[in-house]
Amino acid sequence: MKPFKIPESVLVVIYTPALDVLLIERADCPGFWQSVTGSKDRLDEPLLETAVREVAEETGIAVGSAAVPSHSLTDWQHAIQYSIYPQWRHRYAPDVMRNTEHWFGLRVPTGTPVTLSPHEHTSLVWLPWAEAADRCFSPSNGDAIRQLPERVR
């Protein structure tokens, strides 16, 4: 049996210098567009490590490479709590109903290649930040993207 997910996760808004934002479509829910997200693998895993791992797993982008140096990933020092969607609640312990999500931003060069993990995501699109925010199925993901112009100043 697979262990329960830890109810602490990261959301990573990946964007270009022109503020185009990468959205990826969930394989298990067609039409659900989102930024990179993922839970800690262990309780003591640093959030920055979670963010780097999830970006690599979901997009193939290697933070810390020559193309995307480590300083391109910033901790936005912002966390929210939300109710876990019913369709994913089975992944958590039975008494867990809420998740804490920590927001990060990752600036990448325009044209950065993306390789999706096919069991997690089926499509990708780069959109101007306002359009990307409107396309997200998660209201908090949309809120994070709407903060992008202020966060990069």
Annotated binding site for Mg(2+): 54, 58, 120
Report how far residue 96's alpha carbon sits from residue 83's, in angstroms, rounded to the nearest whole number. Answer: 9
Burial class (CB in 10 A: 0-12, 13-18, 19+), 49: middle
Cα-Cα-Cα-Cα torsion 21, 134, 27, 84, nearest 10 degrees, comes to 110
Report how far residue 108's alpha carbon sits from residue 67's, in angstroms, rounded to the nearest whole number. Answer: 8
Say whether 32 sits in a helix, a strand or coil: coil
Could you tell me which residues are annotated as the binding site for substrate?
5, 26, 37, 138
Neighbouring-strand partners of residue 98: 83
The CA angle 35-39-41, to the nearest 5 degrees, is 140
Could you tell me which residues are annotated as the binding site?
5, 26, 37, 54, 58, 120, 138
